[in-house]
Each structure stands twice: as structure tokens, then as C-alpha cells.
Structure 1
Amino acid sequence: MSSAPSTPTVRQDGRSSAGQTPGGATASHRSGPFLALIAVCTAVTAANIYLAAPLLSLIARDFGATPSAVAWIASVAQLGYAAGLLFFAPLGDTVNRRRLVTLLTVVTAAALVASALAPGTGALAAAVFVASAATVVPQLLVPLVAARAPAARRARHVAAVIAGLFTGIVAARVVGGLAGQAFGWRWVFAGAALLTLGLGLATALALPSERRSRDGSLFGGLTALPGLLRRSPDLWRASVRQAGMFGAWSALWTSLALLLTGPAYGLSTATAGLFGLFGLAASAVAPLAGGLVDRFGAARVVRGAYLLAAVSVPLFWVGGHVIGALFVAAVAIHAALVASHVANQTLALTTTSSPATANTAYVVSGFAGGATASALAGTAFTHFGWGGVSVVAGVWLALGWGLTATRRGRR
């Protein structure tokens, strides 16, 4: 593989005009086991970012603290992942991916073992930060999957990896919590280390051999992000629209536990946590969204996803008093988020000659939109209740669409 994989021309509707990869259906058939391995590896590594969240009460009990006193450890994981995205993910354009995936896998596994052995909250937070920063392997693999896929099935291949990503997020919250209750939180981190090491090294061995003509720099990709966004209107649009979509989802989803455990419903924390199972809708929607992108283009799929999200916001508001509306809204917002993600990320990966750097710009934009909306939603809930959270989500959707409605992408 060359140092910069050839990038197909992307039409304004988001569909690729490139022909099939050499071998056509044969190449697609051979890539099946490889794609499955990457999807499973993505699920396991993505779960590491959210591993601490369902274990906070057990961690607090072990260290003689209250759950609220250790809740910041889950936020440290998010900060670590953001740092990893900025510094490590762009290296996929410039360094040998096999070596980079191997190094990050070993570092992640070692940090997870350190988490399992942590004597206090400070040591645990430091280990979780390192593990989350190094667990950006999925964002190194998505550009490779897009580059190797046949043009007519590119979005479906990207969707398979995204399905693994969301499955890992759900598994971390549900399976991690159950395993922690049964075996203790330290064994959950130790088990995650073993899974990460095994699947990460297996994936690294399966990656194609690459020769890179440029040296990677921790700051080279970071400094290239603003210019890349300016030069590519399609990448800019995909990033802003996903920031709006992810922001709306984050505002609603991160505040939902406050509603469910508050006076309106009075559910226990464990029962409220079962709402995370609605995230499984993402795994089912991703392949369907990929097929729609390949057939109709990214623009139409994103438009449909925004319409579905716009319907889900008032349903969430009604859900402040009617639990059935929350069920429907939870499925709808997850379906909208994943469909939008598949379409926008496919467009981001195929619109420049630096797919790893473009993917970093896209993912960081979405992450920033989600983090900002979550912070605003928490304040809105404190002062205005669940209705205030719904307003924040609606405003974020309006901004995501409105800021990109008048800027046309390239053909």
C-alpha cells in the first residue's frame, strides 16, 4: 500500500464515482474475515473508554469513598480519548499502521493492568487516562477499511466497524457492570487487558504491510487539521453536522439518568442503566444505513437522520411524563445518530487525500459538540428541568443543520 491511499472522487451527493477495487466481488469476499476481525477489535477497544462508568460504585466502596467522589474518573477517560484522537489518530496517514496498532495495543493492555492494580483513585485515574488515550485503534482502522473496500460497498464496510464501535459502548455499560458485580471491578479491568491484547495483536498481524515515505509527528496531524477543514467543504459539512447530531444525542442521553432516578419516575440506578440496551439499536441500524449511503448517497441519509432526530426531541420531552414515549424516542435517537455517523464518516474518509487526518477532524468535531452539549444540558436540567434539556437538544440540531445549509460542497 502506498503512503497515501488513492482517494476516489466524491460527488456532492456523497456517492463515490470511483470504480471497483481490483478483483471486484472477489476482493470483497476475501475481506470478509478481515472486516469481521476489525469489527470485533473495535468493539473491545471502544469498550475500554467507558469501562469505569458502570463500576464507579464498586470502586468507591473499595476505596472508602462515595460514588460522587470518584465520578470524575469516568470524565478522565473521555479526556484521555480526546488526547489520543488529536495526537495518535492522524499518524495513520504517515506511519506504518501495523507497528502503530501493535504499540498502542501493548500500551493499552499495560495501562488496564495498572488500573486493576491501582492502590488509589489518583493512580487509577492516571492509568485510565493512558488506556483511553492509547485505545484509538478503531480510528486508525476505519480509514483503512474505507480505502480497501470496493467503491460500491464502501459505506457498508465502514458501517460494520461503526456497528462494532456502538456494540462495545453498550457492552461496557451492561456487561461490565454485571461482571463487576460478580467478580469485582479489578477483574473487569484485568479481563479487558487480556481481550485487548489478544484481539489487538491479532488485528495488527492481519493488517497489510505498508511502506510510508514520511515520518509521523505527534503534532504534524494536529497542526494540519484547520487547513484541511478549510480546503474541504465536504469534510467541514460532515464534521459540523455530526457535531450537531452527537450534541443532541449527548444532551438527552447523559441527562436521562437524572430524569429516571428523579421524582418523575423514581427508578433505581440499576434499572435506569438498563436504558443503555437501547444502544443495541445502533448495531442493527448501521448495516442498513451503509447500504442506503452506497445506493442513495450520504446527503440523503444525513437529511433523513436529521428528520428522525427532530421527531425524537419532542418525544423525549413528552417522555418526561410518559415512559412509553421515552422508549420510542430512545430507539429513534440512536437510529438517527448511527445513520448520520455512517453517512458523514464515509464522506469524511473519501473527500481528501489524507483520510486519517480527515477522520481525526471529523471525530474530534463530533466529540467536541457532544461534550459541549452535555455540559449545557446539565445546567439546563438544574434550572429548567427536563424541558430545558429538550430545548438544548433541539437547538443543537438546528445549529448543526443551519450552519451547513448554505455552504456547498465540491463535486
Structure 2
Amino acid sequence: MPSATQAIPAPRTGVRRPAAAPSLPPTLLLTLIALCTAVTAANIYLAAPLLPLIAHDFGSAPSAVAWIASVAQFGYATGLLFFAPLGDTVNRRRLVAALSLITTAALTLGAFSGGTTTLAAAVFVAAAATVVPQLLVPLVAARAPAGRRARHVAAVIAGLFTGIVAARVLGGLIGQAFGWRIVFVGAAVLTAALGLATAWALPADSRPRTGPLFAGLRALPSVVRTSPDLWRACLRQAGMYGAWSALWTSLALLLTGDGGYGLSTATAGLFGLFGLTASAVAPLAGGFVDRFGAAKVVRSAYLLAAVSVPLFWLGGSTLWALCAAAIVVHAALVTSHVANQTLALTTTSTPATANTAYVVAGFAGGALASALAGSAFTQWGWGGVCAVAGVWLLLGWTTTSVRRGPGRNASATASVRR
């Protein structure tokens, strides 16, 4: 069994760390970053639970505004591609502050919008600028002690999943009580407060920018091509996130449909609380990665996910199985995410660019699987959705089961590989 210091190699950033100490003690800084991650991640999913309220306010049917939630996904993807790689070359403090202010302005505009076009534009800009978590994760990994690196990354990931749950559950409840515009205003205030506080607390960043501003975006293909570990992490997380997305995005159709459980939208939304499993499992997953290495943890996560698929299928008619499956699949997702993202952050000399490739790959896998799952549900019902999830897991594992030759930026420590 590898030791804690052997499980994950130190990131080879090739960048001299600034001599100045952080403004806050390390533990307090990590806590602040996790809170900032939770708030900013929630902005991506803010509109989804509020769509019925938005439709009523604008005098239209919910189906006529459902596309606004998709706009947020496209906005986030755009932000990932253009802003996340800047973490390797641009002063993080200024970048985090600027993006937080842009997000705040966009959310405020959305809160006072008078129609779907203005609201959609505001949601797109807010989601594109809310990539702050992906700027902070590489910093956390670089500054963490070697034997606790994955646990520090897991703390940020726990914040991310907590934010997603809060957006789906608390956002819906607050919107129902006070209106959807109040939710947007509250999100704007929290984003400004925590974003600016985090920017102020980040350690001094004296890296001079060299080369074109978006050089990291152009370097994405070569970074993935020359790092087998990064390539494997991207595909495995695309398979895992795709399986989760297929099941989770189609779950409302099963819970509220006449051929399913026939629950109300509010009751079905409480299933989002199972996402808290991810927040609870993340610290444990980080400890396992630090102790046993990323490869073993990812294999265990895939086994968990494989168990969840038949549970979900059984859950089509048995509620206890559906609840158990929801817990298992979230545990599998976050365990895989902690392991794969830690590996992605430590396997190249450009961690922010590598992290961008990793997150975009996972997002693409999830988006495609969700689209296929919707069609599968229409054609074959809940069993078709479970089949899509199973196929995605199979593809994610089998396409990476053959080891590629080492690239020039491959990790030097074999324990993090398969």
C-alpha cells in the first residue's frame, strides 16, 4: 500500500510560489473557499427550481421558459473554456474579484428583468462568470500538504455539491415563499460578499503573464494528448458524470409522471436532499485518495455506480430502492470526482488548463447522456434511462482500460495510475 506522500504526486506547476503568506490561516482560508464555491456553484442551477414561478410571472406556460435552465448550462460551458484556463497565467485575486462582480451584476439584472430574453441573457452571463470554483481548486491543490492534498480538494468539492443542493431545494422553497426575484437578489448579495472576501483573502500572486491571454485554451488539446493520466481522468469522469446525469435529470419524470409515482413537484424536489450524500462522502473520499491512491478509489467508485443502476431500475416501482440508489450514485459520483480531479490537478505543469479539460469532459459526458436519457424515457420508459446510464459507465471504463504510452507530462508516480 502506498504511503500518504506517495499516493498523489506534488503538482509540477513550474511556477514559483509567492513568498507572501496568505491573509488568513490555512484552515480558515480553505473554509472560506469552500463557502465561496457553494454560493457560486448554486448560481448555475438557480433558475431550474424557479421555472414555474418565472412562467407565472411572465404569463406563460412552464414549458415555454424551460429553455432558460439550459442557457445556464451553455453559459457555464463557455465560462469554463474561456475563463478557467486563465488560472495558470492571470492574477487570481483580480480575476476572482472581477468575475464575482460580473456575476453579481448579471444576477441583479435578472432579478429586475421584464421578459424571458433579458432574463436568459442575464442567466447566461452569470453562469459564464461563475467559474470561480474551477479557479480556486488548482490553488487549493498546489498549496495543500502532500499527504492531505486530496482531502483539501474534497473540501472544495463538498462545498460545490452543497451549493447545488441549496439551489435546488432552498431556492425553490424561498422562491415559493417570497418570489423568484428575491432568490436572484439574495444570490447576487451572497456572490458579491463571498467572492470579494475570497479574493481579498487569497495569497499574493506575483506571476507575470506571458504570451497571449487565451493561450491556455489553445493548449487544451496538446495538454490532454501528452498526459495519459489526465486523458484517463477525463474519460472516466465523463462516463461517471454521464451515468449520474442520465438518471438524475430524468428522475423528475418518473416521480411526477402518471405512469410513475405521481408526486407533486414540491415533493419530488425534496429528492434533491439526497445530494447531501455527496457533501458527506467527499471528505472520506479525499482521505482514501491520499492513503490508497486515485486509481483504486476510482475503481471502487465505478463498482458503487454499477450497483446503483439495477437499484434505480428496481426503483421504477419500489420507492425504497429508488432512495437507496440515489444515495449510492451520489457517493459514487463524488468519490470518483475527488480522485479524478486530484489526479488531473497534479499530472501536468499547467493545472488550471488541465482542470479545464477535465471539467469540460465531464460536463460534455453529462450533457450528452442527459439528452439521450430524455429520448430513452420517451421510447422505453424508466428502463431505457437505466440502460443509458449502464452504457455510459461501461464506455467510461472500457475506453480507458488500455494504458496509453507515457507522454512528456505524464505523472512520475505509478501509484496514481490504474
What TM-score do the two structures reach when normalised by structure 1? 0.93
Deviation at 1:209, TM superposition (A): 1.1
Q: Is the 8 A contact 2:86 2:214 kept in 1?
A: no
2:145 pairs, out of 144, 150, 161, with 150
Deviation at 1:214, TM superposition (A): 2.3
Q: Is the 8 A contact 1:155 1:342 kept in 2?
A: yes
Deviations 1:127-160 (A, max 9, x none): 0000000000000000000000000000000000
Partner Cα distance (2:274, 2:190) in 1: 25
Q: Is the 8 A contact 2:86 2:213 kept in 1?
A: yes
2:9 pairs, out of 16, 32, 46, with 16
2:243 pairs, out of 240, 248, 251, with 248
Q: Is the aligned partner of 1:396 residue 2:392?
A: yes
1:63 pairs, out of 51, 58, 66, with 58
Deviation at 1:210, TM superposition (A): 1.0
Tell me what 2:41 maps to. Answer: 46
Partner Cα distance (1:324, 1:253) in 2: 16
Deviations 1:298-330 (A, max 9, x none): 000000000000000011001111111001000
Partner Cα distance (1:313, 1:41) in 2: 33
1:283 pairs, out of 279, 294, 299, with 279
Q: Size of the alignment, in residue pairs?
A: 394
Tell me what 1:371 maps to. Answer: 367
Q: Is the 8 A contact 2:34 2:158 kept in 1?
A: yes
Partner Cα distance (1:31, 1:214) in 2: 26
Q: Is the 8 A contact 1:238 1:348 kept in 2?
A: yes
Alpha carbons of structure 1 residues 283 and 99: separation in structure 2 relative to 1, 3 Å: same
Deviations 1:46-82 (A, max 9, x none): 0000000010011000000011100000000000000
The AA in structure 1 aligned to 2:264 is S
Q: Is the aligned partner of 1:183 residue 2:205?
A: no
Q: Is the aligned partner of 1:360 residue 2:353?
A: no
- 1:330-341 equivalences under 5 Å are 330-341=326-337
Partner Cα distance (1:272, 1:389) in 2: 18
Q: Is the 8 A contact 1:286 1:342 kept in 2?
A: yes
Q: Is the 8 A contact 2:238 2:363 kept in 1?
A: yes
Tell me what 2:218 maps to. Answer: 223
Q: Is the 8 A contact 2:10 2:142 kept in 1?
A: no
Q: Is the 8 A contact 2:239 2:365 kept in 1?
A: yes
Deviations 1:229-283 (A, max 9, x none): 0000000000000000000000000001111111221111111111100000000
Tell me what 1:274 maps to. Answer: 270
Alpha carbons of structure 1 residues 88 and 387: separation in structure 2 relative to 1, 3 Å: same
SS in 1 for 2:79: helix
Deviation at 1:223, TM superposition (A): 1.2
2:92 pairs, out of 76, 92, 97, with 97
Deviation at 1:212, TM superposition (A): 2.1
Alpha carbons of structure 1 residues 65 and 369: separation in structure 2 relative to 1, 3 Å: same
Tell me what 1:382 maps to. Answer: 378
Partner Cα distance (1:256, 1:234) in 2: 33
Partner Cα distance (1:148, 1:86) in 2: 24
Deviation at 1:407, TM superposition (A): 1.6
1:349 pairs, out of 345, 348, 356, with 345
Q: Is the aligned partner of 1:303 residue 2:299?
A: yes
Q: Is the 8 A contact 2:241 2:362 kept in 1?
A: yes
Partner Cα distance (1:85, 1:74) in 2: 17
SS in 2 for 1:51: coil
Tell me what 1:314 maps to. Answer: 310
How high is the sequence identity, in percent, across the aligned residues?
A: 75
- 1:99-178 equivalences under 5 Å are 99-178=94-173
Q: Is the 8 A contact 2:38 2:162 kept in 1?
A: yes
Deviation at 1:350, TM superposition (A): 0.3
Partner Cα distance (2:161, 2:210) in 1: 32
The AA in structure 2 aligned to 1:238 is A
Point out where structure 1 has 5 or more consecutive residues left out of the alignment. Answer: 1-10
Q: Is the 8 A contact 1:228 1:358 kept in 2?
A: yes
Deviation at 1:16, TM superposition (A): 2.2
Alpha carbons of structure 1 residues 75 and 194: separation in structure 2 relative to 1, 3 Å: same
Tell me what 1:4 maps to. Answer: none
Q: Is the 8 A contact 1:91 1:217 kept in 2?
A: no
Q: Is the 8 A contact 2:11 2:347 kept in 1?
A: no
Tell me what 1:6 maps to. Answer: none
Deviation at 1:216, TM superposition (A): 6.8
Deviations 1:273-300 (A, max 9, x none): 1110000000000000000000000000
Partner Cα distance (1:84, 1:299) in 2: 29
Q: Is the 8 A contact 1:318 1:325 kept in 2?
A: yes
Partner Cα distance (2:393, 2:383) in 1: 16
Partner Cα distance (1:88, 1:17) in 2: 24
Deviation at 1:221, TM superposition (A): 1.8
Deviation at 1:30, TM superposition (A): 3.4
Deviation at 1:14, TM superposition (A): 5.2
Point out where structure 2 has 5 or more consecutive residues left out of the alignment. Answer: 413-418
Tell me what 2:75 maps to. Answer: 80
Partner Cα distance (1:176, 1:399) in 2: 35
Partner Cα distance (2:52, 2:202) in 1: 39
The AA in structure 2 aligned to 1:50 is Y
The AA in structure 2 aligned to 1:358 is A
Alpha carbons of structure 1 residues 227 and 194: separation in structure 2 relative to 1, 3 Å: same
What TM-score do the two structures reach when normalised by structure 2? 0.92
Partner Cα distance (1:321, 1:18) in 2: 47
